[in-house]
Amino acid sequence: MPLNVKEKEGFKFVDEGQGQVLMLLHGLFGALSNWEGVVHRFSGKFRVLIPMLPIYEMPIKDAGLEGLRKFVEEFVDFMKLNDMIIMGNSLGGHVGLLYTLHNPSKVSKLVLTGSSGLFENAMGGSYPRRGSYDYIKERVAYTFYDPQVASKELVDEVFETTKSIPKAMRIVAIAKSAQRNNLANDLPKISVPTLLIWGLNDTITPPIVAHDFNRLIAGSELKFIDKCCHAPMMEHPEKFNELMEDFLVSKN
């Protein structure tokens, strides 16, 4: 069932359920739909919020990690949120980490999956090439262990985005910002309970990156999902949600 996207004061977001806030942050080419499995599983127990990050619309001078962190701060202030569980995939994990480092009193738990922040093989080693559908199809498939997960709808969406010169400029600026913004020295400051869920076959943020996050974030838990690449919540939603539920219950 498609997610219901709301719009208020310039923010676009999904807001489902009641209870403690579970805020989900998508990646560079991510969409709100990436989180459908999580929303359907947890909106009965939590208030699940997914802000649409303004990756393609933000002023080019602000197109980077700091601009996205400030956007999340503005969204949290607008929605008057506290005591949040933040979950981020890929770039969304990076943004979630920066938000937590700057606003530790607002975050009670953190879940990272395929997060950037230490090392990321962006777009499989290259930036988006405009105008080549086959290239985009190959790069999107590279995100998944099973290329069939890269549906035509998903490939079409990314292709349409990269055809726009202004959007492509922002994508490149944000991707470069993420590669420059290494958090190795800051991760030991993360003190909230943290779960790392990683694809064992992740080619973009490989398993060694997950081990580095696990080493640098004290007390963090690391769980791998086999036959899974960079977006576990899409490739193995049931397993992903089981790991999530175990963590949320055990840490309450």
Which residue ranges form the domains of the chain, and what is each CATH number?
Answer: 5-250 (3.40.50.1820)
Identify the pLDDT of residue 130.
Answer: 56
Q: Which residues of the chain have pLDDT under 50?
A: 123-126, 252
Check residue 3 and give its pLDDT: 87
Residue 45 CA: distances (Å) to CA of 41, 42, 48, 76, 145? 9, 5, 9, 20, 30
Tabulate helix, strand, coil % of the chain (nearest 5).
Answer: 45, 15, 35
Contact 110/100 with Cβ under 8 angstroms?
A: yes
Q: Which residue(s) pair with 24 in the sheet? A: 87
pLDDT at residue number 189:
98
- Output the pLDDT for position 1: 64
